Amino acid sequence: MPDKTHLTEELIKILKEVKANIHDDADCMWSYFETPQDARNEIEQYVAELEAGNISSLQDIRLHFAPTAGYQELSIQNGWSNEYIKLSDRFDKIESELKK
């Protein structure tokens, strides 16, 4: 089983990949986020917490990866849903390990 530090680093990579797909012209109409910058700012906050060793935001992050939730809606609206599915699968595996 990988250690929690490694898993947290992988989770940060996933969040950064999600953030990289949220461009300034992203359509947020059906998502939880008002603007693309709102989404990126929230991801930056999660990354900062995780880098500080705080995984308490894991539940909030999980909600964004849930089916038809924030990140999936953004991906569908903006043409990166196939990549999102891969990121979501990676997230699910890491989250499962972190909860052990």
| pLDDT tens-place string over residues 6-27 | 999 999 999 999 999 999 999 9
Q: What percent of the chain has pLDDT over 70?
A: 98
Instruction: Read off the pLDDT of each residue in 33-43 and give the average, rounded to a whole number.
Output: 96
Q: For residue 40, what are the contacts with CB-CB under 8 A and spacing of at least 6?
A: 19, 22
Helix orientation angle between 58-65 and 81-98, rounded to the nearest 10 degrees: 150
In this predicted structure, the answer to whether residue 36 has a pLDDT above a threshold of 80 is yes
What is the pLDDT of the chain when averaged over all its residues? 93
